[in-house]
Amino acid sequence: MANLRSLATQVRRTSLLRVPARQTNEFSTSSRNHSYADTLPNLKIGAHTRVLFQGFTGRQATANVKESLAWGTKIVGGVKPGIEGEHLGLPVFPSVRTAQEKAKPDASAIYVPGDQTAKAIEEAIEAEIPLVVAVAEHVPIHDLLRVGDPPRRLDIVAAYITRRFILCFRHSPKQGIVAKSGTLSYETVASTTRAGLGQSLCISMGGDVLAGTNFVDALKIFESDPDTEGIILVGEIGGTAEIDAAEWIKVYNRRTANPKPIMALVGGLHAPPGRIMGHAGAWTALGEPDAKSKYQALERAGAVMVNHPEKFGEGMKTLLNNRSRIQPTQSSKAPNQKKGLHTMRRVSMNREQRTLPSKQTRSLFIKEFQAIDMLREKSISIHEANPSDSDIFLSLTIDRTSLSPCVIASTDTNFASAHTGRFPFAYSTTEISNKSSTIKSIASHLQLPETIHQKLAELVQALWEIFKEKEAYLLEIRAKLSTGGILQIQNARFGFDDAAFRSSGRQKEVHSLRNPAEEVREEVEAEKDGIVYVKLQGEGSIGTLVNGAGLAMNTVDALTIHGGHCANFLDTGGKATSETVKSSFRVITSDPRGIIMAFRDLEMSVPVVVRLRGTNEEQGQRMIAESGLPLHAFDSFEEAAKKVIGLAG
């Protein structure tokens, strides 16, 4: 059964909100005294789930509703503001409140333009819909910060922002899957299904910055779920959710006799530092652990690690067989989990020093003099000085754990944890003065004298105003405290959210500062077709062409681990058409017809290896075989990787 399958498969990233609500089948009851944790059961969608669509009559929603109905989803209607009627044989309600009163939905799927999503989410929260799923591909970050601001959460029935979608594949209930990547979720489902295993529930928290419902939330669900026999976690670069999950797993394995086996993967092991890799939140901020650190933490906690999702199926089957031979009174430690598992390949952990690139995609980083000008406009004095060991570093960004703005302060250029402090505060904050607890905490951490507190407050206040007014997501400065008690700003690096401009037309002045002529030509050209392309450094001999950011990251990782040298990261972004392939020399694995047409029309002279995986993979393999073209098609990633590395060599 796949009651919300189409909703999941057509959405790359979404937001979910869990709201304490009235008793509805298995959903939690409404009470302002309930905590956010009390809403965890709302995640357990099933045949009983009554689904409402917001933006019901739009093109995307209409297509999704049709497919959902074909799969047996219990859709109770949809909302079009101010309109009552009928669409696809289902009722149209003028508001979510009306729909809640008349149709009693358990979940709402939001299909509205990015600049209207926050308002639609708020309407669903106010109507106390227990579970809200919203397309979050182009939703401005600051819109979601406003919705999820802590004081507002208290006013809106303790609702909390989450950035995630749910897949509900229920074959024979076996595996609980939680992932940041949609494409890697599909790969994981395919792998476990091929191994004869089923899925109890597949939850993806999404690859976005704001991920209120996280890995630990999902792990708690899977721990207590009698249908879930094994747990699979798929992480990637960005944030600390994987580290939190590792701590939970460590405690779980210690306190539980014969714990459920846990396997994991972390995408982005070979992602260039600081780059945004397709997903809006797939980038490592200052002071955050990189993918290798996350991999090591999960492995130390007892999770069995793999380098590609196709290994999950047979690997989990082995672990489940081992677990069945363990008496319930025994405690299963991490080493026991790995016995007899020979399909896993350990990753070499050579930690690299973190450097900051000059460019990123899916965002705008302005030039240093432009950032300095913004500070001057806020009456901040700029005193140029050469870098020194006594410099301090301030970053105003988003704290992914508290889901709020955050000042990161450090005395170390690499923001090493021992020298770095994180100071989150509410988005509704209007003034950060020298009397505020935030400034006192920052000054104490940096060991600044009290005489400098006022200057520090003025600087942080200026950064905060720029952050809100211009919808930034990362503001970094390097400063020095002079002998005369003057805070000298040495350099600045400011990054802004492109979704505010692309979806809403806001911040035109900021985004007019961009000069594409100074950027990587291939990356700019790819962007025109809605494709995220990152040119990798070094003498890469293998081009990667992948539909999905998480899978694209993992493809680079896996090929590198096998000894390959990748020239690029590429996420097609769902624009899988033959014209896109031909115009940008990209092979799209999700549409075999696109591959064949592009190959013919472009008269490709380099060898092309295609790995197909999906609902139409048999048809795709047949089409490629019958085309007569020199394409090398594989079902197994291992075989495809060996072939392409051999051809490149």
Q: Is 67 exposed, middle or buried (0-12, 13-18, 19+ CB in 10 A)?
A: middle
**Strand, coil or helix: 323:** helix
Q: How far apart are CA 42 and CA 425, in angstroms?
A: 28
State the Cα–Cα distance between residues 36 and 22, nearest whole angstrom. Answer: 14
> What's the CA gap between 220 and 37, in Å, rounded?
10
| Rounded CA separation 77/91 (Å) | 5
Active-site annotation holds for 279: yes
Which segments of 328-419 are extended strands (E)? 363-365, 392-399, 404-410
Q: Are the beta carbons of 181 and 550 closer than 8 angstroms?
A: yes
Q: How far apart are CA 325 and CA 343, in angstroms?
A: 20
CA distance 189 to 262: 15
Residue 623 near residue 640 (C-beta atoms within 8 A): no
- Helices 453-469 and 437-446: crossing angle in degrees, nearest 10, is 120
Please tell me the distance from the alpha carbon of residue 72 to that of residue 81, in angstroms, as a whole number: 26
Alpha-helical regions (H) of 104-209: 114-126, 141-147, 150-155, 182-194
d(CA 644, CA 560): 12
Residues 6 or more apart from 515 whose CB is under 8 A from it?
Answer: none
From 142, 270, 279, 445, active-site residue = 279
For residue 379, CA distances in Å to 373, 488, 510 come to 10, 13, 19
Task: Give the total residue count for the chain.
Answer: 649
Torsion of CA 548, 552, 558, 560, to 10 degrees: 180
The residue type found at 1 is M
Beta-bridge mates of residue 601: none
Rounded Cα gap, residues 268 and 400, in angstroms? 18
Residue spans of beta strands (DSSP E) within 228-376: 230-236, 262-267, 304-305, 363-365
DSSP class per residue in 12-56 = SSEEEEE---S-BTTBPPP-TT--GGGGGGGG---TT-EEEEETT
Residue 86: Cβ-neighbour burial (10 angstroms; 0-12, 13-18, 19+): exposed
Token pair of 363 as six digits: 């965002």
**What region, left, alpha or beta, does residue 614 occupy, with left being phi > 0 and alpha being psi -120 to 50 degrees?**
left
**CA 111/CA 59 separation, integer angstroms:** 9
With beta carbons less than 8 A apart as the criterion, state whether 339 and 357 touch: no
* Residue 547 and residue 569 in contact, taking contact as beta carbons nearer than 8 Å: no
Just list the catalytic residues. Answer: 279
